[in-house]
Structure 1
Amino acid sequence: MKIQKTTLLSCLAAGLLSITGVAHAGLVLDTGAITMGVKDNGGLGFAGVGINLTGGPGDAIMPGCLCEGWGAASNGVGSYTYGDTGTYGFASSTFTSTGPANAVSTVVLSSGLTVVHTYSSAAGGSLFGVNVSIFNTSGSAVTDVRYARTLDWDVGPGHFADDFTTIYGGTTSGPGGNVLHTSFNPFAVPNPMSFRGSYGGVAANSNGVNVPGDLGAYFVLGFGDLLAGESVSFDTYIGAAFTTSSLLSAFGSVGIEAYSYTYDNDGAATYGWGFANVGLPPAIDPDPTDVPAPASIALFTLGLAGLGLKIRRKKSV
């Protein structure tokens, strides 16, 4: 998000953040290739839409439980939103749209953090780019700042038993960089202070390739301490394509460093999400001719393309 952070922080602290656009309780964003329903608090599943590939086998989130959400934490205390169960530790949420695929969700947490998700089209419309900026507006230093995202994949037509899920945590051995924890278990609130155990026959913090079953992904990122007025920023991407290789090519084009993707054995689409700028090297070669098949040993060695994140901190003046 190319904004002078000192200016943005002063606006946030005063509660005066103003973005040209139309305010909504949420919106179904549309890149032309995919649609995604976003609530004002940044959770998915608005107006009956989670994420959908145009011409694809159906929504990849809505058929089962809406076990999806995000959270942020500091000083050992987490705040989060999770599906239709509501929020914890959210003081206020605003959502402003500036175009069919462009929107900004601003959430003020009772802990004193302010989290801004900025949505836009990426990779030719096959992905939504989501810049995440976490601001310390508490007025004092905070410790152990974290961000978590969880998502239960339910890709059609089988939705559950026929789904195959992959997680790559940023290195061939598991989490690395700012990725603290990964799990195939999406069925708990995304409190960043909570880690999860083994699930689907895969140990926590382990990469897995094409693991069958009703699974999802849980990632926890860590950024250390922030002084008053400091901020951290990284990028997430979520999208879909008609082939796994096409989705991974899109991941490579935006520099994803850690990720998860799922496809249905009988379907014709792959859905995925990942992180960039999280202190790791890109996980996938951006040249689509160099992207191996998802089940290949080469892809596993590369680490199943990843969630990347780049930290940018500045102290307010």
Structure 2
Amino acid sequence: MKINKNIVLTSFAVGLLSLAGAANAGLVLDTGSITMGVQDNGGLGFSGVGIALTGGPGDAIMPGCLCEGWGAASDGVGSYTYGNSSSGFASSNFTTTGPADAVSTVVLNSGLTIVHTYSSAAGGSLFGVNVSIFNTSGADVADVRYARTLDWDVGPGHFGDDFTTIYGGTASGPGGNVLHTSFNPFAAPNPMSLRGSYGGVAANTNGTNVTGDLGAYFILGFGNLLAGESVSFDTYIGAAFSTSSLLSAFGSVGIEAYSYTYDDDGDATYGWGFANVGLPPAIDPDPTGIPAPASIALFSLGLAGLGFRLGRKNKQKV
């Protein structure tokens, strides 16, 4: 697991972070190839945009219900945003520094601070999202978790014609920091809540090209954090005009666990993946099969801009 050290993050420092760039309630980010609507709390779906490929068949998240969001937990208590509502959030702030660059900072009632830092990746075919979880509670916390859920609704059929894949990090299912996976996106992403069989696929089981109105649910676990410690990892979301192109982009950034989906009558594939979660890269970035190193994980521009040093090393108390 990747744990940051040498961090002095007080409430004052969090306040400074929120001042970087122009504050917004949300924004539609644009890499030039894909657009993504982000709320100030880091949930997707803003101004009618979830995730869309320029020139593609439409949005992959907005049709049907906005069943998308994330959650974080410690000491057995989860907080989350799902659709247009949230639970356990004390404050949210969203700043931007460019068309594809933004920082969402959320302080939970539990005292955790969650920072999502967005930027363009893989030549604009992906959004890179660095996720940093800071223990700003002033006390040690146990069983820190992060969850992400999303309902894939890809056009033109949206529901019955969609094919969805989940890979949890190993051939048999979840591994590394991935604790739990499910094809069921239809519940709030409380990281303490597990989900059962859905779409004919058991929880914690990989599935390839499973048909139906499905999505993906991932829970990541990072163990205990002492007061002042943090954990950081990377997620990527994007789209391409073929599954092979999307998977190639995933390979280029070192994706370790993922979900992707497409409509059999459409011409685009959409996906979400995780990197730096304690697993080897799941996709060879070199189509010749010659091993190639995974790309360096996206660094948090929001924190870097303020001079924070986030060394990815073993857990250590500040």
TM-score (norm 2): 0.89
Task: Report deviation, 1:38.
Answer: 0.1
Give the conservation status (yes or no) of the 8 Å contact 2:80–2:189. Answer: yes
- Residue type matched to 1:184 in 2? F
Residues 102 and 196 of structure 1, relative CA distance in 2, 3 Å threshold: same
Q: What amino acid sits opposite 1:31 in the alignment?
A: T
Give per-residue Cα distances to partners, 1:269-301, cap 9 Å, x unaligned: 00000000000000000013559xxxxxxxxxx
In the alignment, which residue of structure 1 is the partner of 2:188?
189
User: Quick one: distance in 2 between partners of 1:126 and 1:74?
Assistant: 33
Q: Does 1:61 align with 2:61?
A: yes
Q: Which residue of 2 aligns with 1:129?
A: 128
Indicate if the aligned counterparts of 2:18 and 2:95 stay in contact, CA closer than 8 A: no
Q: How does 1:199-238 map to 2 (within 5 A)?
A: 199-238=198-237
Matched to 2:37, the amino acid is G
Aligned length: 296
Query: How much has 1:64 moved relative to structure 2?
Result: 1.0
Task: Say if 1:117 and 1:132, in contact at 8 Å, map to a contact too.
Answer: yes
Tell me the equivalent position of 1:42.
42
1:56–1:290 Cα change, 3 Å: farther
Contact 2:5–2:315 (Cα < 8 Å) also in 1: no
Does the alignment pair 1:280 with 2:256?
Answer: no
CA displacement 1:170-226 (0-9 Å, x = unmatched): 000000000000000000000000000000000000000000000000000000000
**Alignment map for 1:1-317 (pairs within 5 Å):** 6-7=7-8, 9-10=9-10, 15-84=15-84, 86-290=85-289, 312=313, 315=316, 317=318
Give, in whole Å, the separation in 1 of the partners of 2:64 and 2:46. 15
Higher relative contact order (CA 8 A, sep 6+): 2
Q: Distance in 2 between matches of 1:58 and 1:5?
A: 44
Q: Distance in 1 between matches of 2:130 and 2:316?
A: 19
The secondary structure found in structure 2 opposite 1:246 is: helix
1:38/1:180 CA distance change after superposition, 3 Å = same
What are the ranges of 5 or more consecutive residues in structure 1 without an aligned counterpart?
Answer: 292-307
- Distance of 1:224 and 1:172 partners within structure 2: 23
Contact 2:18–2:94 (CA<8 Å) still a contact in 1? no
Amino acid at match of 1:279: G
Give a deviation string over 1:132-190, Cα, whole Å, max 9, x none: 00000000000000000000000000000000000000000000000000000000000
Distance in 1 (CA, whole Å) between partners of 2:264 and 2:130 is: 32
Going from structure 1 to structure 2, the CA distance change for 1:12 and 1:202 (only over 3 Å counts) comes to farther
Specify whether residues 12 and 271 from structure 1 end up closer, same or farther in structure 2 by C-alpha distance, changes over 3 A only: farther
Deviations 1:27-47 (A, max 9, x none): 000000000000000000000
Residue deviations 1:101-149, cap 9 Å, x none? 0000000000010000000000000000000000000000000000000
Contact 1:232 1:313 in 2 (8 A): no
Structure 1 residue 16, shift from structure 2 partner: 3.5
Corresponding residue SS for 2:10: helix
- 1:180 and 1:269 mapped to 2: Cα distance? 29
Unaligned runs of 5+ in 2: 291-297, 299-310
**Cα–Cα, structure 1 residues 178 and 51, in superposed 2: closer, same or farther, change >3 Å?**
same
Q: Distance in 2 between matches of 1:313 and 1:119?
A: 25
Tell me the secondary structure at the aligned position of residue 6 of structure 1.
coil
Secondary structure at the counterpart of residue 69 of structure 1: strand
Q: In 1, distance between residues paired with 2:166 and 2:12?
A: 35
TM-score, length-scaled by structure 1: 0.90
The verdict on how the C-alpha distance between 1:147 and 1:37 changes in structure 2, with shifts beyond 3 A counting, is same
Q: 1:168 to 1:311 in 2, by over 3 A?
A: farther
**Residue 257 (structure 1) shift:** 0.1
Kindly state the Cα deviation for residue 10 of structure 1 after the two structures are TM-superposed.
2.8
CA root-mean-square deviation: 1.9
CA drift of 1:20 comes to 3.0
2:286 partner amino acid: D
In structure 2, what is the Cα distance between the partners aligned to 1:290 and 1:79?
42
- Is the contact made by 2:58 and 2:154 (CA closer than 8 Å) also made in structure 1? yes
Alpha-carbon distance in structure 1 between the residues aligned to 2:108 and 2:21: 23
Contact 1:278 1:311 in 2 (8 A): no
2:195 aligned counterpart, secondary structure? coil
| Secondary structure of 1:15's aligned partner | helix
Cα distance in 1 for residues equivalent to 2:168 and 2:312 = 17
The percentage of counterpart residues that share the same residue type is 83
Counterpart Cα distance in 2 of 1:183 and 1:55: 30
What is the letter of the counterpart of residue 26 of structure 2? G
By how many angstroms is 1:312 displaced?
4.8
